[in-house]
Amino acid sequence: MFFPWAMSGFLIGLLWRWMFNGQFGVVNDLLLKAGLIDGRIGFLASSGWAMTSVIVANIWYGVTFFAIMIMAALQSVPRELYEAAAVDGASRARQFWHVTLPHIRPTLALIVLLRIIWILNFPDLIYAMTGGGPAGSTDIVTTFLIQQVIGGDYGRAGAVGLLVLALLLAFSIFYLNATRFEKAR
């Protein structure tokens, strides 16, 4: 289960580029066989589909990390609290909202913060899948940074890097203050 998250983002991008290929990709083949589309779609060649394809690959890439972290948080919830809630007549839904969620909320806040930071920093996956195209439709700030480094404009690349760092730091401070939780009892 952990294997996709342990792989290189560039390798993940290459695999998904092959799967989204408009001529012989497995996604088109599955959609055709399921009768969901009439003809092949150039997912990575269409500016309308390219970013969606990159987002799908990025979600697949990160879902294992979420699953493992949430599973670990769920295992840390004391069983006695569920027993006490059941004795008090709480339904499964009330147990979730009043026992489970308060205990795993700090973990959820942390993994959402980490995922937002990682999303801004996934140019390797974009470069492997689309190279920023078509027509710049999948470019993000960090792919612009890489283009500046490749082009030899290290000053601009450094400035963009500091801007990204400042934005992520400001967002992290805001997010952590907004999601400050009291310890669950």
Specify the pLDDT at position 163. 94
What is the domain range of residue 135? 3-178
Distance CA 120, CA 140 (A): 8
Number of domains in the chain: 1
Q: What is the DSSP string of 104-149?
A: HHHHHHHHHHHHHHHHHT-HHHHHHHTTT-STTTT--HHHHHHHHH
pLDDT for 101-118, tens place per residue? 999 998 998 898 888 888
Q: What is the pLDDT of residue 183?
A: 56
Note whether residue 102 is domain-resident.
yes
* Cβ density class 117-150: b for 16+ within 10 Å, e for less: eeeeebbbbbbbbbebebeeebbbebbbbbbbee
pLDDT for the residue numbered 18:
95
Tell me the residue type at 163: L
* Cβ atoms < 10 Å from Cβ of 43: 24
Tens-digit pLDDT profile for residues 103-161: 999 899 889 888 888 888 778 888 889 988 888 888 888 888 888 998 999 999 999 99
Asked if the structure places residue 184 within a domain, the reply is no
Residue 183 within a domain: no
Asked if residue 185 belongs to a domain, the reply is: no
Residue 164 lies in a domain: yes
In 3D space, the residue among 140, 143, 129 whose CA is nearest the CA of residue 20 turns out to be 129
Mean pLDDT, the chain, integer: 89
123 is a domain residue: yes
Asked, for residue 9, whether it belongs to a domain, the answer is yes
The burial of 57, by beta-carbon neighbours within 10 Å (0-12 exposed, 13-18 middle, 19 or more buried), is given as buried
Q: Is residue 132 a contact partner of residue 143, using CB atoms and an 8 Å limit? A: yes
Give the CATH number, domain containing residue 159.
1.10.3720.10
- For residues 62 and 80, the answer to whether their CB atoms sit within 8 Å is no
